[in-house]
């Protein structure tokens, strides 16, 4: 038998095994491509600063920094510390506004 | 998209954005902690030297090696200083006089207003034909090295931008003539 006959299958065969992009991924791509993600991020940031949320988070960070020491505190620690606090202390109005905007986007993107 | 799926997706996107924001805040705080809230924490050698020199001057230390320029802090990153008025001398392409580079702009204001006239009104300016501007521009581009070659920005928006000074062309016929002489 010729060596060429025993070649492994060409890559084409492998492609079919790759998963279809999930709905989540499609949405994400549309968000980014349209520039809406950036705008939403800006909006969220603005609202969170206005209502003092950012200052609150920075307060927690400072407290942790004092505890661990300026040179020793790690970014990881900070993130882990303020994430639960951050998530739970977002004002309802801010959340509602963002959700509303996201929903409009999803509907308008004909998803 | 059905309501429930819509709500789920929206929620998930929101959380993603929120997490992103949280990370940013943490990064900022972390950086501030490491640097002590001081944007100039790392010692800026030359900056420090200049500041130190300035401090010496204010204290009246005559022994210190201070040059007038670095005293004012007008030293660029190569340690060079530049005189307040550019001193290179060249020839004006319009009137063929020797002009100091630093005095070129005011000179042109007068020179291009033809003869001794210092300024002209902008009304006449607007009447000027765009075609003339083009010739003017081309002549500028043909200037050889002895003369000051100025960056002429696009003439698309009226001649107000020429030479970045308020150069007005009072009598365009005259100026075209003088341009042709170049």
Write the ipTM.
0.81
Task: Please report the pLDDT score of residue A79 as a whole number.
Answer: 94
| Averaged confidence pLDDT in chain B | 68
Which run of H or E residues covers position B97?
none
Task: Please report the pLDDT score of residue B165 as a whole number.
Answer: 46
Note if the pTM is more than 0.80: no
Read off the pLDDT of each residue in B2-22 and give the average, rounded to a whole number.
92
For B36, the closest of A70, A90, A107 (CB atoms) is: A70
Chosen for mutation from B30, B31, B32, B35 (greatest number of chain A CBs closer than 10 Å) is: B30
The domain over range A34-109 is classified in CATH as 1.10.246.140: yes
Q: Is A10 helix (H, G, I), strand (E, B) or coil?
A: coil
For B30, the closest of A31, A73, A103 (CB atoms) is: A73
Residue ranges per domain, chain A? 34-109
Greatest alpha-carbon span in chain B: 82
Task: Please report the pLDDT score of residue B161 as a whole number.
Answer: 46
Chosen for mutation from A52, A75, A108 (greatest number of chain B CBs closer than 10 Å) is: A75
Which two structure tokens, joined as six digits, stand for B11?
A: 């929620």
For B12, the closest of A24, A62, A78 (CB atoms) is: A24
| Averaged confidence pLDDT in chain A | 87
If one compares B151 and B97, the residue with the highest pLDDT of the two is: B97
Read off the pLDDT of each residue in B150-170 and give the average, rounded to a whole number.
48
Interface of B with A (CB under 8 A): 1, 6-7, 9-15, 17-30, 33-34, 36
Task: Please report the pLDDT score of residue A88 as a whole number.
Answer: 94
Read off the pLDDT of each residue in A74-103 and give the average, rounded to a whole number.
94
Q: Measured between alpha carbons, how far is residue B29 from residues A68, A75, A89, B38 in Å?
A: 14, 9, 18, 12
**Most confident among A36-50, B84-98, B168-182 (mean pLDDT):** A36-50
Helices (H), B60-171: 68-72, 104-111, 122-127, 130-141
| Record: contact A58-B29, CB cut-off 8 A | yes
């Amino acid at each position: 038998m010729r060596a060429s006959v025993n070649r492994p299958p060409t890559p084409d065969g492998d492609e079919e095994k790759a998963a279809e992009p999930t709905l989540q991924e499609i949405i994400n791509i549309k968000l980014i491509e349209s520039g809406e993600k950036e705008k939403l991020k800006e909006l969220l940031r603005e609202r969170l600063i206005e209502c003092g949320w950012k200052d609150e988070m920075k307060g927690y960070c400072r407290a942790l920094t004092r505890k661990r020491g300026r040179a020793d505190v790690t970014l990881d620690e900070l993130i882990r510390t303020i994430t639960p606090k951050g998530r739970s202390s977002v004002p309802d109005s801010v959340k509602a506004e963002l959700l509303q905007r996201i929903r409009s986007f999803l509907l308008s993107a004909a998803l | 998209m059905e309501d429930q799926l819509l709500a789920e997706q929206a929620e998930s996107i929101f959380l993603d954005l929120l997490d992103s924001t949280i990370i940013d805040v943490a990064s900022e705080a972390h950086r501030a902690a490491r640097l002590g809230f001081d944007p100039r924490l790392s010692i800026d050698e030359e900056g420090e030297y200049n500041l130190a020199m300035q401090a010496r001057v204010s204290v009246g230390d005559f022994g210190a090696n201070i040059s007038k320029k670095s005293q004012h802090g007008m030293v660029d990153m190569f340690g060079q200083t530049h005189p307040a008025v550019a001193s290179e001398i060249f020839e004006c392409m319009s009137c063929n006089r020797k002009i100091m580079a630093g005095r070129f702009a005011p000179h042109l204001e007068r020179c291009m207003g033809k003869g001794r006239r210092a300024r002209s009104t902008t009304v006449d300016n607007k009447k000027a034909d765009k075609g003339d501007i083009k010739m003017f521009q081309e002549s500028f581009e043909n200037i050889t090295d002895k003369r000051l070659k100025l960056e002429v920005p696009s003439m698309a928006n009226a001649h107000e931008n020429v030479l970045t000074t308020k150069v007005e062309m009072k009598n365009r016929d005259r100026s075209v003539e003088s341009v042709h002489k170049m």
